[in-house]
Each structure stands twice: as C-alpha cells, then as structure tokens.
Amino acid sequence: MIRKLESKDYEIVMDFLKGEPSLNLFIIGDLESFGFSFESDFQELWGDFDDKENIRAVLLRYYNSYIPYAKSYYDVKGFVDLIREKGDMAVLSGISTVVEQMESYLTDRLGKKQVTYFCECTKDSFVESETDKSAVRILDLDGVDELLALRASIKEFVPNASARDMLIKGLETKTARTYYMEMDEKMVAAASTAAENSLSAMVVGVCTKEEYRKRGLASIVVEKLVKDVLAEGKIVCLFYDNPEAGRIYKRIGFKDIGMWTMYR
C-alpha cells in the first residue's frame, strides 16, 4: 500500500532512512528542513507499506525531481504511477538497484542516464595527511561571486542559472559550506558541501583553476573540509565517475558503498 506521508510518520520514516544515512542524505536533509510541507507545492513524500504496515520504501518529490529509496522489494509500478500523475519530470535519481527498476516504465520521460560511484568517509576511515592546511579559508557571502567566477572558468562544470541563489541559501541555512584556497590574490581551488543534515553531508563542486592544477590544491581543500565535517559527527559522501579522482578520495579514507543513477 502506498500513501502520502504525514507528520505522524516522521519517526518511522527517519528510523527507516537512518539505516543508510549517506545514501539517504538528500531525503533526510529535505525532511529535516521542510517536513512534509503540506502547505507547499514543492515537496511531497510517499511511503510504501507491506501487509503488516511496515514501511519498505519512500519516494521524495522535490519540485520536479524524484528520489526513491528501498531496501529490497517495493511497489515499482505504484511509484511510477505517482510520478506520471504529477506531470513532467525533470530529474530521477537514486541508488542504481532501486531507481533502474523504474527505467522501463518511464522511457518516454527519462533524460540522459548517468551512473556514478557513491562513496563515503567516516571518522574511523579518515586518513589525515601531514600537508599544511592553514591556507584553506571558509567562504562567506562576500565570496559567492568569486566562487561562481571560478566555477564558470572550469570547462567541466555545467552552468546552472540558480547557482547563486542556491549558494546563498545554503550558506544562510547552514545546509552547505565552501572551503577554498587563494594564490596570487585570487581564488584558485574550492570544494563545497550540499544537502547537509544532522547525519551526513555531500561534497560537491571540487575544482581548481586550470593554470594551478597538478599542485594538489583541491586535495588540500577537500581534506580540510572533510576533517571539519567529520568533527561535527557527520558522515561525508560524494559521487565520482573518474577513476583518477576516485583514487585521490580513497587516499583520505573514502570507500565505495554503491552506485548512483541519475536521469536528467
């Protein structure tokens, strides 16, 4: 049985999601920030329950993006029908073994498919190097435009019209942060978090200005960022699809925990 989740379901849903806090950081973060948002049209959550009323799957809608989560069997067709009822879909993403079960039902709506490695770093797995990190700075609102200019100079980055608003909102709500380094009086390397919640945080936007690459600057920034987030009792996770980048992250303690599929 699938039904829309309500405030009375909060503890049940959170207990279900906390079993895999890294894989569920987006759902947990949105649930902590916005609850079940019955007075808003941007977020909804549904639960799939078995015959004994035990929850076995969750589907999040955040604007036009959807994330399903299940530990094993779930009502795939039921979730697909909900998505179709809501109209156009911008993004579908989630654990590959879960989200790819929807693929054959949504071929007319799915965009380009991207599969990435999903890894996490915990306080126990973190390996700190002896590299000096004293030059790493924490971004404030005054540095947002310079960070955007750095990202715009990186050819691998896809432009996002909402990036400035998202950065500011993340800083103001403390659901995101950015660490960076400067050389020659300009920002040359940076790394950010996104979807921070009480349990976990996602590392995103790792970049180095092209003429300053091959110096390990981004690695220093990421290591400092990860160290500080771990010190707050959170798990740190990230996506990667480049084996070379994967080796860099694994040197400081990241371990693969699954695959993540996104259609957009």
Q: Are 226 and 126 in contact (CB under 8 A)?
A: yes
| Together in a domain, 205 and 131 | yes
> Among 245, 229, 211, which Cα is nearest to 22's?
229
Domain count along the chain: 2
Q: Is residue 263 part of a domain?
A: no
Q: Are 74 and 46 in contact (CB under 8 A)?
A: no
Residue 107 belongs to domain spanning:
2-111
pLDDT at 89: 66
Rounded CA separation 228/197 (Å): 14
Q: Is residue 148 part of a domain?
A: yes
Instruction: Find the angle CA(160)-CA(121)-CA(233) to the nearest 5 degrees.
Output: 95
77 HSE (CA, 13 A, CB side): 0
pLDDT at 78: 97
| Together in a domain, 127 and 235 | yes
| Together in a domain, 71 and 141 | no
Q: Which of 50, 82, 111 is the last residue of a domain?
A: 111
Q: Is residue 28 part of a domain?
A: yes
Q: Which of 64, 83, 111 is the last residue of a domain?
A: 111
pLDDT at 161: 79
- What count of other Cβ atoms lies within 10 Å of the Cβ of residue 247? 11
Q: How far is CA 181 from CA 134, 172, 216, 229, in A?
A: 10, 21, 11, 18
Q: How far is CA 5 from CA 2, 10, 59, 61, 136, in A?
A: 9, 8, 10, 12, 42
Q: pTM score, two decimals?
A: 0.85
Q: Which two tokens stand for residue 254?
A: 């990241």
| Together in a domain, 63 and 178 | no
Q: Which of 88, 111, 134 is the last residue of a domain?
A: 111
pLDDT at 38: 55
In sequence order, the β-bridge partners of residue 46 are 4, 59
Q: Is residue 116 part of a domain?
A: no
Query: Would you give per-residue pLDDT tens digits along the chain (264 residues)?
Result: 999 999 899 999 999 999 999 999 999 988 988 887 555 677 899 999 999 999 999 999 988 889 999 999 999 999 999 999 987 666 899 999 999 999 999 988 888 899 999 999 999 999 999 999 999 999 999 999 999 999 999 988 877 777 898 899 889 989 999 999 999 999 999 999 998 999 999 999 999 999 999 999 999 999 999 999 999 999 999 999 988 889 989 999 999 999 999 998
pLDDT at 125: 98
Q: Which two tokens stand for residue 17?
A: 């999601």
CATH number at residue 240: 3.40.630.30
| Together in a domain, 101 and 185 | no
| Together in a domain, 248 and 128 | yes
Rounded CA separation 202/90 (Å): 21
| Together in a domain, 217 and 139 | yes
| Together in a domain, 135 and 245 | yes
Q: Is residue 23 part of a domain?
A: yes
- What count of other Cβ atoms lies within 10 Å of the Cβ of residue 70? 22
Q: Are 58 and 68 in contact (CB under 8 A)?
A: yes
| Together in a domain, 68 and 137 | no
pLDDT at 37: 59
| Together in a domain, 131 and 253 | yes
| Together in a domain, 231 and 210 | yes
pLDDT at 159: 77
| Together in a domain, 45 and 149 | no
pLDDT at 36: 76
Rounded CA separation 245/251 (Å): 10
Q: Which two tokens stand for residue 18?
A: 């906390």
Q: Is residue 264 part of a domain?
A: no
